[in-house]
């Protein structure tokens, strides 16, 4: 495997990891806000909190890892995206900061205010929308380079149907991913009432994810036919994604095996996400950056890969430990764990 393929695969995998854990987090924030508006919050909040408390910081790291790794493996991305994303990137940063710090602040009583829950819930929708815009920009047409000067065409972006279809897909997806995970988590905690609520949300947001995906397909066809053609070449990945979705939906409708249902949802997104990524290659930014001309020197690449392997040897056992303690420990999940005296 060449260095550039290895690099982008690692990065894409971390971005996928972020997609899943952050979706759970963002969606959970929104649901907790929504339930508060509907005055059902007492039912679901304990479930949401018990899961999120130990892991929120870890969620953030996936994102940091992705962009630091991107600059390491493909330094030119810093130049193009850095210049283009000043405003949208800054806005996303402010939202992420508000959300991240509010989460910790919330433990000391701020949570009961409507304003707080509102900010927390709505940033959960705006952040993925603004982050997804980066993927939109990568399709080309929104960055122009003239005489070495990189310029971001924000008007084009705001007028682009493709950009909006991606935003819709992002929002719908996080709600679906989050609801299907929380259904599983609440079920595991034997919290009947919460399970019913989250199950309802999961069903509600299931079909819209497929419609939104179709919309994006259509919009890509309009916006970047070359990419669309590449997608058709590996259409089996997208069909597998659809198949995973159907299995997940069937399990959800049958109200059993919520754990497997969530695994299928993860697969649904994995197939679609990797399918999108593979067909996007070799471009990192149409038409300016490809993985082969922006890849860092082999020496640095080798150093990064070595560092990555050493890092993984530390991370995987630690992540396993974290999951074992908070995700798969039935006593903790049910809130019976003595340590969690709340």
Partner 1 sequence: MENVMYARILTSLTLGFHIIFAVLGVGIPVLISIAEWLGIRKKDPRYTQMAKRWSKGFTVTVAVGVVTGTCIGLQLSLLWPSFMKTAGEAIALPLFLETFAFFFEAIFLGVYLYTWNRFKNPYLHWAFSIPVIIGSTASAFFIMTVNAFMNAPQGFSLENGSIVAIEPLQAMFNAATPSKAGHMIFSSYATSAFVLAALAAYKLLRGNATAYYKKALQLTLSLALIFSLGTALWGDIAGKYLAKHQPEKLAAAEWHFETKGEAELIFGGVLDEETHEIKYALRLPYALSVLATNTLDGEVKGLNEVPEDLRPPLFIHYLFDGMVAIGGYMIIVPVWYFVRKKWLKKEASPWELMFIIGGAPLAMLAIELGWIFTEIGRQPWILVGYMKTTHAVTSATNVGEMLALFSLLYLFLAVVSTSILLRIYKQPVVMDKVYPSVTGGESR
Angle between helix 86-106 and helix 76-84 axes, rounded to 10 deg = 90
85 versus 212: smaller Cβ distance to partner 1: 85
Report, in Å, the least distance between residue 82 CB and partner 1: 3
Closest to partner 1 by CB, 40 or 337: 337
Are 83 and 152 within 8 A, CB to CB? Answer: yes
In the bound state with partner 1, the residue whose beta carbon lies nearer, of 33 and 238, is: 33
- The dihedrals phi and psi of 337, each to the nearest 5 degrees, come to -60, 125
**Rounded least distance, CB 212 to partner 1, Å:** 27
Based on CB atoms, which residue is closest to partner 1, 34 or 67? Answer: 67
Output DSSP code: residue 152.
Answer: E
| Dihedral angle of Cα 257, 259, 262, 268, to the nearest 10 degrees | -70
Smallest separation (angstroms) from partner 1 to the CB of 201: 21
In the complex with partner 1, the residue whose CB is nearer, 34 or 217, is 34
On whether the CB atoms of residues 7 and 303 are closer than 8 A, the answer is no
CB of 336 to partner 1, least distance (A): 12
Cα 113 from Cα 210, distance rounded (Å): 35
Cβ–Cβ under 8 Å, residues 323 and 21: no
The residue among 210 and 290 lying less far from partner 1, judged by its C-beta, is 290
Report yes or no: 12 and 62 within 8 Å, Cβ to Cβ.
no
Sequence-separated contacts (24+) of 242-248 with Cβ below 8 Å: 242/210, 242/268, 244/268, 244/271, 245/206, 245/209, 245/210, 248/180, 248/206
Q: Shortest distance, CB of residue 241 to partner 1, whole angstroms?
A: 28
Distances (CA, A) of 214 to 3, 28, 170, 236: 33, 25, 13, 15
- The residue among 78 and 242 lying less far from partner 1, judged by its C-beta, is 78
Q: How far is the CB of 318 from partner 1 (least distance, A)?
A: 5
Please state the closest distance from residue 172 (CB atom) to partner 1, in A.
Answer: 26
Q: Measured between alpha carbons, how far is residue 106 from residues 25, 59, 60, 143, 177 in Å?
A: 15, 17, 17, 39, 24
Identify which of residues 110 and 240 has a Cβ nearer to partner 1 in the complex: 110
Residue 240 Cβ vs partner 1, minimum distance, rounded to whole Å = 30
């Amino acid at each position: 495997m060449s260095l550039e393929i290895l690099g982008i695969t690692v990065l894409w995998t971390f971005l996928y990891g972020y997609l899943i854990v952050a979706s759970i987090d963002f969606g959970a924030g929104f649901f907790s806000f929504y339930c508060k508006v509907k005055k059902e919050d007492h039912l679901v909040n304990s479930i949401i909190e018990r899961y999120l408390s130990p892991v929120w910081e870890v969620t953030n790291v996936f994102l940091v890892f992705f962009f630091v790794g991107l600059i390491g493996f493909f330094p030119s991305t810093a130049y193009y995206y850095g210049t283009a994303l000043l405003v949208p990137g800054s806005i996303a940063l402010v939202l992420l900061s508000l959300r991240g710090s509010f989460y910790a602040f919330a433990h000391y009583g701020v949570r009961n205010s409507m304003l707080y829950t509102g900010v927390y819930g709505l940033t959960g929708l705006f952040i993925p929308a603004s982050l997804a815009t980066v993927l939109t920009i990568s399709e080309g047409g929104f960055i122009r380079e003239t005489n070495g000067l990189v310029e971001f065409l924000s008007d084009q972006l705001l007028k682009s149907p493709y950009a909006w279809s991606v935003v819709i897909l992002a929002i719908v997806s996080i709600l679906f991913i989050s609801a299907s995970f929380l259904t599983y988590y609440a079920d595991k905690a034997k919290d009947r009432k919460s399970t019913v609520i989250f199950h309802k949300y999961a069903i509600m947001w299931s079909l819209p994810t497929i419609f939104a995906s179709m919309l994006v397909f259509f919009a890509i066809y309009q916006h970047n036919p070359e990419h669309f053609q590449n997608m058709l070449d590996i259409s089996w990945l997208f069909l597998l994604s659809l198949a995973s979705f159907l299995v997940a939906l069937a399990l959800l409708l049958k109200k059993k095996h919520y754990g497997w249902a969530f695994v299928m949802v993860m697969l649904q997104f994995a197939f679609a996400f990797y399918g999108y990524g593979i067909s996007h290659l070799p471009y990192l930014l149409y038409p300016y950056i490809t993985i082969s001309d922006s890849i860092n020197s082999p020496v640095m690449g080798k150093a990064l890969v070595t560092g990555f392997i050493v890092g993984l040897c530390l991370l995987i056992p630690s992540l396993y430990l974290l999951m074992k303690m908070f995700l798969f420990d039935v006593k903790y999940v049910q809130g019976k764990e003595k340590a969690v005296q709340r």
